[in-house]
Amino acid sequence: MRFDLWQSFNGPLAAGGNGSTQITGAGLGTAGTNAQWAGGTQDSVWFGATADGGSGVDYRAYSTAGSTGYTPTSGVFAAGTSTAPDSRNNSHPYYVEFGLEAAPPAQLALFPNQAGETAVGALGFQWHDTTVTKIGSQIAWYIDGLLIATVDSSTVTLGGSNILFNYFDINAGRSTDSNSPLVAFGLIDNVRVEGLSPSTPQAPEVQSIGIAGGNVQIDFTGASSDTPAAFALLSSANVASGYLIDRGATITQVAPGQFRAAVAVNGDMRFYRIQR
């Protein structure tokens, strides 16, 4: 399942006004008969995040095995198991690529108290390409290609086969800010649900590419039954042609169905493909 996510909250930014901390989420495996939220009964695997970074737990994962939310020590979060800073909090360095966004000019003109910028690591006021995948038993959550969390569905009880989206307040009561009903919301757009035939080999899908420790690092997905030997990294100096297997690359398995290719940066412009 893939969708575009926009989150807005009542200002001023970055801290937000009264009652600004809300969660927008998505998941799968629900029967669709009861609402999925932090204080409810879980029958699915779902993930959610704040817009303002105003909670101690800004990135969240829930299931029947984590009915009140998975903790850092669960190993579910890609940011690690740290509790100081908490691997679920916007202040963790893992989320540094998010944040420092301003409210759209038209919104700011109507609501001057929206002035400022979002905190580093917060998701508000920016479109985000969001993906929830199920490959084998692994249900994973990505934002803009960055892996956020992974839950093993074999450890939980799924109520059905429906997808879900939710939006809720993490606190009791309601905002006293008169602007809140107009500017506090989560917007889900361009929802796409795709399935792969079991008889068709899983085509590798690149999730992210970056440089770490002097290496080009490419994270991609495959089938849960795949091993690193099923793939090769191709590279070329020309984006349109000339791709050859890069013998200096190593491919490792991060989790079932999730892989990482790494190759040393050679100083030249290179283009890369993952080949099955």
Q: Parse the chain into domains and list their residue ranges.
A: 2-192, 205-275
CA distances 2 to 94, 127, 162, Å, are 22, 13, 14
The pLDDT value given to residue 174: 87
- d(CA 105, CA 271) in angstroms, rounded, equals 37
pTM for this one? Answer: 0.73
The pLDDT value given to residue 38: 94
The per-residue DSSP string of 139-153 comes to: EEEEETTEEEEEEEG
Q: What is the pLDDT of residues 113-139, one digit of tens each?
A: 999 999 999 999 999 999 999 988 999
The pLDDT value given to residue 150: 96
In the Cβ-directed half-sphere of 136, how many Cα atoms lie within 13 Å?
Answer: 17
The pLDDT value given to residue 240: 86
The pLDDT value given to residue 141: 96
Q: Which fold has domain 2-192?
A: Jelly Rolls (2.60.120)
Residue ranges in the chain modelled with pLDDT below 50: none
